[in-house]
Structure 1
Amino acid sequence: MDLILRIGEMLLSSGAGAADVTATMRSVADHLDLRQAEVDVTFTALSMSYQRSLDDVPTLMMRHVQQRDIDYEDLTAVDHLVRDILLDRADLYLARNRMATIVSLGHAFPRWAVTIAWAVMAAGVGVFLGGGALVSAVAALAAVSIDRVQILMARRRLPFFYHQVAGGAIATLLAAGVAATPIEVDESLVVTANIIMLLAGIGLMGAVQDALTGFYLTAGARLIEAMMATAGIIAGVALGISVSDVLDIGLSGLVPGQVKYSDLPVLILGAAVSSAAFSVACYAPRRAVAPIAAITAVAALISQTVEVNGFGRAAAAGVAAFFVGLVAYAVAGRVRVPPLVVAVPAIVPFLPGLSIYRGLTWLADGGYLVSQGILALMTAISVAIALASGVILGEYVAQPLKREARKLENRLAGPRLVGPFRALTRAERRALRKSGE
């Protein structure tokens, strides 16, 4: 039970959906002869109970999620461990030792490489927004400053809300500093690029996935977390504007959330670079970075083609997400990572973070802008649902379902993005062990 709870905790804290976490824990429990065990997953805690017989007192264990960082390296390692357990390649003793090793070891990428990845992502978003080389350079410098400051704040255990406040303030003040020089730069696009960077890892995809798969409590908690993080960015940008006004640095033309989309080839390049950099910043295995960039480039082309032909933004995002979900299963199998590691970075350029930002900003301003704020939030919700449902529908089409797997799949309200895709029979496990696969 302790091993199963640790597996679930690692998966949940690394960004896996509650449905995937629950089904993975049940699969391991059944394989380790803890049949009929009850598993409960919420946003902050996991619990598991098991009653050996009707005459015995049930045993209950719980674990709380101590930290919540998107870590695809640990997610991949735990996913491989689960597969080895189900294939009888690892017994309980070896599995516990491997789990302890995963928790205690560091990452393949040094921390400074992650900072560089955030800078590259901000620069890629600047290109994606049509800002040019100068906007991308300033956005990359702001991303480096934001990341290093957030590291210091994390060491002092400050809540994530204040991290977002600091990020929004730094981006605005740096844009104001550049605007005060003779250098001509669109400070609105600089701030917007860093806003997208700050909103990329919030987890809108996980929130909508949990809602679609029936885990409404966890979905509500993820949505509240997203709203609080966005409110922190708004507060940070407002603080930066106030400080610049006190210092008499004009930011009259600042429009956070401004978008000037570039030409199609440049837009595709910016989307691919930003998604690949995001995957590196989340410690995705190196072998998955190039496929993620390629998938994102094709998805961006599909999205722009659909939108240019008269369909709305939600429809374009949904079609692009369906393509991502369709190919993520096959690509993830070839590069030996969970489909979630491929799918989430690939849809990062399409996340409706700017719509949420603009909606909350207009609601805070009040007056005649309230109606525009509500419309922007509704647009954001529709795009988020289109992205998550498109990815899940693509996984439905891509994942082969066989008769012996249906009992396990019926426990899920959706396809698997993490964990074993189906239950293996004893004959299949013996055949795999003999073949050495």
Structure 2
Amino acid sequence: MGRATERLRRTWQVLMDTTPPEPPEDEPSEVVSARAIDLVLRVGELLLASGESTERVNEAMLGLAVAYELPRTEVQVTFTSLLVSAHPGGSALPVTGSRAIRRRTPAYWRLTELHELIHDAAIGKLDLEEAHERLAQIKRGRGPYPPWLLVMSFGLIAASAGVLVGGGPVVAVTAFVATVIGDRTAAALARRGIAEFFQLLAASSIGALIAVLVVAMGSPGRVSTVVTGAILALLPGRPLVASIQDGITGDLVSASARLLEVFIMLAAIVAGLGVVVYFAVQLDIDIRVSDLPRPPAVFSPVAVLAAAGVGLAFAVSLAVPRNVLFAAAIGGALIWSIYVRLHHWGVAPVFSAAISAVIIGIFASMLARRRRAPILPYVVPAISPLLPGTLLYRAMVELNTGDPQGGVLSLIGALSVALALGAGVNLGGELVRAFQHVGLSASGRWARPAARRTRGY
């Protein structure tokens, strides 16, 4: 009887005028588990550090928050930090945690394992402690390939790329050696705490130096193919795809940071090439633009196999799960075949690259959705055969041999192709998303509220 009277009094107070009543002091608030917040933060940190896009990290963290009943959770993900805040209700203060991302190492096998963890948690197969134990196993786990194979994969990228743009066995071996030496030099600098910019500069300059030595030995026709192979493994395909995806999905802060990272990496590569080419010209080594053929769009069994080899080697270097290797090789061969066919039909190189990337994005998104896996392990190796290595080298030669206008145009062309690849694969994913009913970590077409904003009116 007393409780009913109290409810009536409070209702009458609201109707009469006054401010809504405060909840009674003894009303229990929802419990916020610090252990659950810690799990959400640690999973998000490992996803972001392993190369996942910001939107996917945000979705994964919110999915875990729902799975472990964190009340009224807000998640903020940027390129370098994470924040989670849960409000227990009533007059209680929110519980907030944050983590900084200090080191990023692409390890796509971890992405796959983490997405499986999130899926199992979402359907109730893991309690909180089991999720923590599984996360610890993933963090301590070793990749699917030995370290020596990861080193060799960079050389295999270079060798396959050299063959793809018209080189033969000598070019493949030279590019392999140049890339492995450059990678080991960069690794030695990293162990001494040298910034990544200078690591890339050293690696690209070694590739260009070996190409210049090839010219000095009397084989100018091989310089372009050697350099293309040597620097292709350095080109930032992974952060480029992630930056375009962040920009498309409305996370402009992270997109700007990732895009700046891409341009800094490109600047380091361009600087390494430019320094070597400049001194080669000053030493009267016969480097001429006429000796640098544009990338040949050739549809032949050798070229298709070389494109598949580039995709396969890129996949190994990114430590994708073993069951993705075949798809990576097929993707590399497919994107090259589509690009060559469009090129022969008279389509401009930038549009050919974009259309090829859209088709790859569609197939990769469908396959990733079918396997309940992240999409990046499928798309990044597949677009690697079209990364513009030769255009970058041509730009540096033109800039250092008295043709600055041509050099700027070649550089713009290289950047345009790279951006077309990033935008194309993301457009393919968006087309799949537009027609799907549900996706990984609740990422279906209704799970992106920012896309329903009113723009301009």
Q: Calculate the TM-score normalised by the size of structure 1.
A: 0.84
Aligned residues with identical type, % of pairs: 29
Which of 447, 450, 453 aligns to 1:410? It is 447
Structure 2 CA distance for partners of 1:86 and 1:267, relative to 1, 3 Å: same
Which of 200, 223, 241 aligns to 1:187? It is 223
Which of 15, 20, 23 aligns to 2:51? It is 15
- Any idea what SS the aligned residue of 1:264 has? coil
Higher mean alpha-carbon deviation, 129-138 vs 404-413, is at 404-413
Which of 362, 383, 386 aligns to 1:326? It is 362
Q: Quote how far apart the aligned CAs of 1:314 are.
A: 3.1
Amino acid at match of 1:157: G
Residue by residue over 1:309-334, the C-alpha shift from the partner in whole angstroms, topping out at 9 and shown as x without a partner, is 12222332232222222222443366
Tell me if 1:147 matches 2:183: yes
Q: Which residue of 2 aligns with 1:427?
A: none
Structure 2 CA distance for partners of 1:183 and 1:379, relative to 1, 3 Å: closer
Amino acid at match of 2:432: E
Structure 2 CA distance for partners of 1:3 and 1:317, relative to 1, 3 Å: same
Higher mean alpha-carbon deviation, 236-245 vs 3-12, is at 236-245
Which of 322, 345, 349 aligns to 1:286? It is 322
Which of 173, 185, 194 aligns to 1:137? It is 173
Q: Is the 8 A contact 1:347 1:387 kept in 2?
A: no
Residue by residue over 1:325-357, the C-alpha shift from the partner in whole angstroms, topping out at 9 and shown as x without a partner, is 222244336666422211221112233566567
Q: Which residue of 2 aligns with 1:260?
A: 295
Amino acid at match of 2:175: A
What does 1:95-174 align with in structure 2 at a 5 Å threshold?
95-174=131-210
Q: Quote how far apart the aligned CAs of 1:200 are.
A: 4.2
Q: Which residue of 2 aligns with 1:420?
A: none
Q: Quote how far apart the aligned CAs of 1:201 are.
A: 4.4
Q: Which residue of 1 aligns with 2:455?
A: none
Which of 291, 295, 306 aligns to 2:331? It is 295
Q: Which residue of 2 aligns with 1:33?
A: 69
Q: Which residue of 2 aligns with 1:92?
A: 128
Higher mean alpha-carbon deviation, 389-398 vs 150-159, is at 389-398
- Any idea what SS the aligned residue of 1:134 has? helix
Q: Is the 8 A contact 2:395 2:408 kept in 1?
A: no
Larger Rg: 2
- Any idea what SS the aligned residue of 1:310 has? coil
Which of 377, 396, 410 aligns to 2:433? It is 396
Amino acid at match of 2:420: V
- Any idea what SS the aligned residue of 2:363 has? helix
Higher mean alpha-carbon deviation, 54-63 vs 304-313, is at 304-313
Amino acid at match of 1:264: F
- Any idea what SS the aligned residue of 1:198 has? coil
Aligned length, in residue pairs: 412
Higher mean alpha-carbon deviation, 313-322 vs 368-377, is at 368-377
CA distance in 2, matches of 1:188, 1:386: 27
Q: Is the 8 A contact 1:23 1:411 kept in 2?
A: no
CA distance in 2, matches of 1:183, 1:327: 41
Q: Is the 8 A contact 2:343 2:352 kept in 1?
A: yes
Tell me if 1:214 matches 2:250: yes
Q: Calculate the TM-score normalised by the size of structure 2.
A: 0.81
Q: Quote how far apart the aligned CAs of 1:256 are.
A: 10
CA distance in 1, matches of 2:284, 2:396: 25
Q: Is the 8 A contact 2:239 2:262 kept in 1?
A: yes
Tell me if 1:49 matches 2:49: no
Residue by residue over 1:163-195, the C-alpha shift from the partner in whole angstroms, topping out at 9 and shown as x without a partner, is 111111111222233334466761222112222
Which of 242, 250, 269 aligns to 1:233? It is 269
Residue by residue over 1:67-121, the C-alpha shift from the partner in whole angstroms, topping out at 9 and shown as x without a partner, is 1121111111111111111122221111111212222232221111011111111
What does 1:73-92 align with in structure 2 at a 5 Å threshold?
73-92=109-128
- Any idea what SS the aligned residue of 2:233 has? helix
CA distance in 2, matches of 1:3, 1:408: 27
What does 1:422-437 align with in structure 2 at a 5 Å threshold?
none
Tell me if 1:71 matches 2:107: yes
